[in-house]
């Protein structure tokens, strides 16, 4: 081989190697960021959600974003009225979607609040809590996601603090789907989301958004003040599967946090 041919051959080999490397790196990035290409750490983390995809822009430009800090000095007293919970027992389906464990709920369960009705679609969990109270996060937060006939969302937030084991939660936790994409129908289990609510259902109310991409706004939030308890082991069992899945608190901007007078 003359020297010129050798240089050309090297260039070709280098070129091929570079392309193979590019493909390999792209594949690794895709795998590590999970499906939908967003997550809670690094490049795919909450600080960058708004840049990841055109559809996620609201995560960056929105002014009524969730979660928030429920700061006692910001509470505005109001006549809120009770939330009526009309939840039926179901045999739930549990899904690990890579971002949380979600319990899909059959049709026919709803809340009524100030003459509005919203149907329960699913509930899921975050560790630690996403909304905070006076700057402090709880150990876990459950979000019960409801929709009305116009497609508007209402989310009821329930905090969990470390304490006694929670027997209702244990019915679900015994069968936690451990792998992203895994779905389980919990046959033999009859469970009502009503049993995963604190006795005292007083709440704060504010407008916000989804706490995950695409961070859509116009979500009615109702966060129950009284936390439930779950054991350290129960909280750790969820965190071990999902990891930290709490978006940091967002600016309140020109919003009011309403609280019962
Ligand atoms: Zn949530």
Domain presence at residue 14: no
How far is the centre of ligand 1, averaged over its atoms, from the C-alpha of 2 (Å)? Answer: 65
CA 72 to centroid of ligand 1, rounded, Å: 22
Q: Is residue 41 part of a domain?
A: no
Quote the ligand 1 centre to 199 CA distance (angstroms): 22
Note whether residue 173 is domain-resident: yes
Q: What are 61's two structure tokens?
A: 């430009």
Q: How far is the CA of 124 from the centre of ligand 1 (A)?
A: 6
Specify the CATH number for the domain of residue 254. Answer: 3.10.200.10
pLDDT category at 5 given cuts 50, 70, 90 is very low
Task: Give residue 79 CA to ligand 1 midpoint distance, Å.
Answer: 26
What range defines the domain where residue 92 resides? Answer: 52-260
Distance 126 CA to ligand 1 centre (A): 6
**CA 87 – ligand 1 centroid, Å:** 19
Q: How many residues does the chain have?
A: 261
String of DSSP letters for 24-92: HHHHHHHHHT-GGG--SSGGGSGGGHHHH-GGGTHHHH-SS-S--EE-GGGEEEE---PPEEEPPPB--
pLDDT at 35 over 60: no
HSE (side-chain half, CA atoms, 13 Å) at 77 = 1
Beta strands at 153-162 and 228-230: parallel, antiparallel or unpaired: parallel
pTM, two decimal places: 0.86
Across the range 30-46, mean pLDDT stands at 74
Of residues 211 and 27, more confidence is placed in 211
Domain assignment present for residue 204? The answer is yes
Flag whether pLDDT at 9 surpasses 50: no
CA 4 / ligand 1 centre spacing (Å): 62
pLDDT in tens, 127-186: 999 999 999 999 999 999 999 999 999 999 999 999 999 999 999 999 999 999 999 998
Residue 11 belongs to some domain of the structure: no
Confirm whether 152 is domain-assigned.
yes
Considering its fold, how many domains does the chain have in total? 1
For residue 246, the CA-to-ligand 1 centroid distance in Å is 8
Q: What is the structure's pLDDT at 10? A: 42
Six-digit token pair at 130?
Answer: 């996403």
8 A C-beta contact, residue 189 and residue 92: yes
Q: Rounded mean pLDDT of the chain?
A: 89
Indicate whether 226 belongs to any domain: yes
- Tell me how far the alpha carbon of residue 146 lies from the centroid of ligand 1, in angstroms: 12
Handedness of CA 204, 215, 117, 191 (dihedral sign): negative
Reported confidence tier of residue 36, pLDDT bands at 50, 70, 90 = low
**Rounded mean pLDDT, 200-213:** 98
Q: Confirm whether 196 is domain-assigned.
A: yes
């Amino acid at each position: 081989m003359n020297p010129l041919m050798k240089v050309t051959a090297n260039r070709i080999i280098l070129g091929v190697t570079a392309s193979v490397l590019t493909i390999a790196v792209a594949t690794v990035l895709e795998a590590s960021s999970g499906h939908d290409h967003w997550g809670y750490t690094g490049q795919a983390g909450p600080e960058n959600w708004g840049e990841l995809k055109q559809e996620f822009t609201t995560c960056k430009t929105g002014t009524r974003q969730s979660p928030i800090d429920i700061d006692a000095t910001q509470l505005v007293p109001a006549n809120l009225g009770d939330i009526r919970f009309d939840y039926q027992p179901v045999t739930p389906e549990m899904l690990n979607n890579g971002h949380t464990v979600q319990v899909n709920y059959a049709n026919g369960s709803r809340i009524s609040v100030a003459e509005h009705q919203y149907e329960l679609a699913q509930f899921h969990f975050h560790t630690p809590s996403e909304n905070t109270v006076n700057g402090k996060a709880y150990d876990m937060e459950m979000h019960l996601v409801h929709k009305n006939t116009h497609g508007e969302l209402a989310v009821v937030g329930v905090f969990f603090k470390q304490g006694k084991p929670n027997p209702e939660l244990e019915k679900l936790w015994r069968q936690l789907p451990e792998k992203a994409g895994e779905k389980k129908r919990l046959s033999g289990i009859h469970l009502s989301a009503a049993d995963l609510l604190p006795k005292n259902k007083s709440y704060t109310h504010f407008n916000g958004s989804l706490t995950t991409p695409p961070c859509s706004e116009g979500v009615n939030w109702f966060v129950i003040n009284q936390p439930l308890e779950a054991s350290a082991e129960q909280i750790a069992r969820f965190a071990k599967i999902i990891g930290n899945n709490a978006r940091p608190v967002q600016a309140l901007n020109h919003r009011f946090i309403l609280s019962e007078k």
